Structure 1
Amino acid sequence: MISEFEPVVNGIKALLEKWETRLLSLQDDVIYNRRNGQNRNIKQILGHMVDSASNNTHRIIHLQYRENPLEFPNYATHGNNDRWIAIQNYEEEDWFDLVQLWKYTHLHLAHIIESVNPEKLENVWIAGKADEMVSLKEMITDFLRHMHLHMDEITELLEKKQTTNL
């Protein structure tokens, strides 16, 4: 594994370990009723994280064998990530299954990151915002920040729930 990616892989695994049991212990009213600034509940946030891990898995793979720069759809632009959440109907997904999907999708992503070809790190994909170019290396090193962002959103929703019960 590329040593620079060790903190990313270890960070992903640590978050999964920290959160799996906590997520599974949440009551239905908490996972359905608390909403963030994007009007997403905890199930939808977790579903978005599955989509993010899945899309990043595909980008990492494509960036290692396709023509550079890579033209690959950015599912997150123009509100498309909310379309993905709605079309997949995460709201109705079995909670246990969704938590396991979240966990194993991220474990697989960590595995893929461990196997990245160092010769391909400067390959780029066109991210969609004014032809912004993002390298494979940048995408991988930024993933943990993105994961923390959404886990922090869930933390805020859990704290909001506790505050309203006082």
Structure 2
Amino acid sequence: MVKYAQESDLADLNPDELSERLATVLRDAMPWLVTISEAEASVPEGAGKWSGKQVMGHLTDSAVNNLARIVRMQIEAEPRLSGYEQMEWVRLQHYAEREWAEVLALWFALNEHVVWTIGHIDRARLGNVGVVEGDAVTLGFLIEDYVAHIQHHLRAMQRWMGTVGGRDG
């Protein structure tokens, strides 16, 4: 499992804060994401790289997979949680061919539900352990890492697309 975050002390984590952390990422990202044009969102970063649509599609797939992990880690004792074929998920769902506004709406809606779900986790369950791609992780860390993963991709998009839809501002 590729890790994007440093694991915090479980005593310092609470579901409300984790939920708000993700909600803040969504609120901060949407104003500049909606300024990206259909044309700009369709252009890959470079040869063999994803377009903005495909990156956001990947983040949508990540929301689907991590939502399932978050729920399962509250239900099952030490679940074994597989990874997923990220490139194939993006390719098979044809995000590159979908309207940019639709990709954004799907990503945002799924993550709003993840925010809701995280906010309702019993704090005692943040220490529940699951095995993701062979690595034992706590539910608290899984959530922290999920948010950091989104931030990683959004920062990368801002660098190559420009802060506001490829325009200075």
Instruction: State yes or no: 1:12 paired with 2:17.
Output: no
Q: Which residue of the partner structure matches residue 102 of structure 1? A: 107
Give, in angstroms, the shift of residue 26 of structure 1: 1.4
Q: In 2, Cα distance between the equivalents of 1:153 and 1:114?
A: 27
Q: Which residue of the partner structure matches residue 85 of structure 1? A: 90
Higher relative contact order (CA 8 A, sep 6+): 2
Higher helix share: 1
Q: In 2, Cα distance between the equivalents of 1:159 and 1:61?
A: 35
Instruction: State yes or no: 1:69 paired with 2:78.
Output: yes
In the alignment, is the contact (CA less than 8 A) between 1:47 and 1:98 conserved in 2? yes
Q: Which residue of the partner structure matches residue 155 of structure 2? A: 152
Structure 1: 5+ residue stretches without partners: none
Structure 2: 5+ residue stretches without partners: 1-11
Q: Percent identity?
A: 21
Give, in angstroms, the shift of residue 91 of structure 1: 0.7
**What's the Cα RMSD here?**
2.5
User: Alignment partner for residue 57 of structure 1, among 40, 62, 67?
Assistant: 67
What amino acid is aligned across from residue 106 of structure 1 in structure 2?
N
What amino acid is aligned across from residue 87 of structure 2 in structure 1?
D
Instruction: State yes or no: 1:136 paired with 2:146.
Output: no
Q: In 1, Cα distance between the equivalents of 2:61 and 2:53?
A: 12
In the alignment, is the contact (CA less than 8 A) between 2:14 and 2:123 conserved in 1? no
Report the TM-score when normalising by structure 1.
Answer: 0.82
Q: In 1, Cα distance between the equivalents of 2:123 and 2:143?
A: 12
Which piece of structure 1 moves more, 147-156 or 8-17? Answer: 8-17
Q: In 1, Cα distance between the equivalents of 2:100 and 2:144?
A: 29
Instruction: State yes or no: 1:126 paired with 2:136.
Output: no
Deviations 1:120-141 (A, max 9, x none): 222222211xx21111111012
Report the TM-score when normalising by structure 2.
Answer: 0.81
Give, in angstroms, the shift of residue 3 of structure 1: 5.8
Q: Which residue of the partner structure matches residue 32 of structure 2? A: 22
Instruction: Indicate the SS of the match to 2:137.
Output: strand
In the alignment, is the contact (CA less than 8 A) between 1:124 and 1:133 conserved in 2? yes
What amino acid is aligned across from residue 89 of structure 2 in structure 1?
W
Give, in angstroms, the shift of residue 102 of structure 1: 0.9
Q: Which residue of the partner structure matches residue 8 of structure 2? A: none
Matched length: 156
Give, in angstroms, the shift of residue 64 of structure 1: 1.0
Map 1:25-40; keep pairs closer than 5 Å: 25-35=35-45, 39-40=49-50
Change beyond 3 A, Cα 1:29–1:87: same
User: Alignment partner for residue 122 of structure 2, among 104, 117, 123?
Assistant: 117
